[in-house]
Amino acid sequence: MGTALGVLNRADGSAKFAFEKSSVLCSVFGPTEVKLREEKLDKATLSVIWRPAIGQAGTLEKTYEKTIRETFSSAILLALHPRTSIQITIQVLTEDGSILASAINAASLALIDAGIPMKCAPGAVVCAIDEEGELLLDPLASEIK
């Protein structure tokens, strides 16, 4: 497991997080001006963009975006920044299992690096039980199948 904060110069906050062979880079921009059609009068708008290592984002990646958006919508104090936007961008660098957990951890660290006020700092880990009944923490993609 490895982490690094402030790895991107132009982002308000950024973090790199790796579980074994899976690693992601996360950037946070905001609070910034929001497009008029996305503006919320009483709180900030949270957007999440998932960029896979190869190819275009598909249905699975859209599900990951929704999961991260829902997780951090309840953690970030969005009411402190009405009529603004906070954008979380996840770039997958390498993927071999535990990618969603890596992304949640990277996003949490990037939000802390950006100084975004939160009620809590969400964290994630993947657990699995193999055929012998042993608990696996951070299983590789080959161990999950």
Q: What is the pTM of this model?
A: 0.91
| pLDDT one-digit tens code per residue, 73-92 | 999 999 999 999 999 999 99
pLDDT at 24 > cutoff 80: yes
Tokens at residue 105, please? Answer: 């951890």
Compute the average pLDDT of residues 21-43.
88
Residue among 128, 135, 124, 75 nearest 102 (CA): 124
pLDDT value for 17: 96
